[in-house]
Amino acid sequence: MPTGPTSALPRIATPQDARARVREILGALLSALRETGRSAPAPTPALEFSEHRAGRDRPTGLQWRGDPTFLHVSALIASDGPAPGESSVRRLLEGAAHAAGDLGLRAAGARDVSEVHERLWQGGEGERAEVVVGARILLRAHSGPFLPGPEHTPISTTPAEVARGLRPSLLRPR
């Protein structure tokens, strides 16, 4: 029987623990972005967020003790309203970085192209968070790997303060 690559993690999360961690990460990042926006020298309008793409579980391509693992990808959460001013971008990203650090996530990448600024963080259990500040503020989190459980009911990881009801895609068809 063929086997795939294996995960080096000594233990693996349950689906509930993995989703709870994603919810914790998103909640902390949202709070930090909102607070930073309010306290900026030129405050940004109140930041409101909504879901734009549904969250989902997907295979990692890895195995843990011979069993295939999955990860949870949160909904794509985007700000509603005008883009933050260029003077606010650095403060927003610093606020998000501070919140990520408080959760034990470490910087894993940064990219600045034109007026789009992307930051990535990763945790010790394989979880990741991403914030993009450009025409809108986008955020998404991925859980670390977990073994699929018996529950079949999708559980949202989107924090309660985010508007639900998926919005049209941010990407327009060409």
- The torsion defined by the Cα of 104, 110, 112 and 117, in degrees rounded to 10, comes to -20
What DSSP character marks residue 115? T
Query: Can you give the residue ranges of every domain in the chain?
Result: 15-142
**Cβ atoms of 55 and 72 closer than 8 Å:** yes
Q: Please, how many CA atoms are within 13 Å of residue 96, restricted to the half-sphere of its CB? A: 28
Please state, in angstroms and as integers, the Cα–Cα distance from residue 34 to each residue in 47, 84, 105, 133, following that order.
Answer: 6, 12, 19, 13
Query: What is the reported pTM?
Result: 0.83
| Biggest alpha carbon–alpha carbon distance for the chain | 61
**pLDDT of amino acid 6:** 61
> What's the first-to-final CA gap in the chain, in angstroms?
44
Residue 117: what are its φ and ψ, rounded to 5°? Answer: -125, 120
Q: Look at the block and give the residue holding tokens 């859980």.
A: 143
**pLDDT of amino acid 165:** 57
Sequential pLDDT tens for the chain (174 residues): 345 566 566 678 899 899 999 999 999 999 999 888 776 665 556 788 988 888 888 999 988 888 999 999 999 999 987 777 777 888 999 999 999 999 999 999 999 999 899 999 999 999 999 999 998 999 999 999 999 877 655 667 777 777 665 555 554 443
